[in-house]
Amino acid sequence: MSNKRRRIASGALKKDLAVAYSKVITIEGVPDECTLDSLQGIIDTISVGPAPTKITWYITEDLAGDYPITDEIEETIVVGQTTATDGGIRTTFDAFEYSRSTDGVQGSLYVWAKTDAGTCNLNVRLRYVDGD
């Protein structure tokens, strides 16, 4: 019998995400060995003129950003149906087996993100599977 469980770890909201990697989102509560499933971004307060249409992001093991565990991934923002300043993005990982390799903060991963234009607020959720 399998003890695998799907879990979600959330990061804090970052305001005024812009065209440079200046905002880092800390995701706490991630096991040091697990299978990464997906990264979801909930977006609000999308700027008008210029408005971002894409977000590029990646995950690191350390707050300084020296140990990336994913490539840079560019995702198109899906804008809300009723509110043009809200939207979201999602990256799905193909059974990404993660195992901590640095002496960073145990249980924490860091999302680095930037827009292609303008600004927005971003909150993230990391879905993962842990257990045997």
The answer, yes or no, to whether the previous bond of 50 is cis (omega within 30 of 0) is yes
pLDDT of residue 1: 47
Give me the pLDDT at residue 76, please: 98
Number of folded domains in the chain? 1
Q: Residue 87 falls within a domain, yes or no? A: yes
CATH code, domain with 101: 2.60.120
Among residues 33, 47, 38, the alpha carbon closest in space to that of 9 is found at 38
Q: What is the largest CA-CA distance in the chain?
A: 54
- At 107, give phi and psi (nearest 5°): 80, 5
Is the pLDDT assigned to residue 104 strictly greater than 80? no
Q: Is the pLDDT of residue 119 over 50?
A: yes
Contacts of 103 (CB under 8 A, 6+ apart): none
* pLDDT tens sequence across 51-99: 999 999 999 999 999 999 999 999 999 999 999 999 999 999 988 999 9
**Where in the sequence is the domain holding 99, given as residue range(s)?**
12-130
| Residue 3 forms part of a structural domain | no
Task: Examine residue 47 and state whether it is found in any structural domain, yes or no.
Answer: yes
Q: Is residue 6 part of a domain?
A: no
Asked, for residue 115, whether it belongs to a domain, the answer is yes
Is 4 domain-assigned?
no
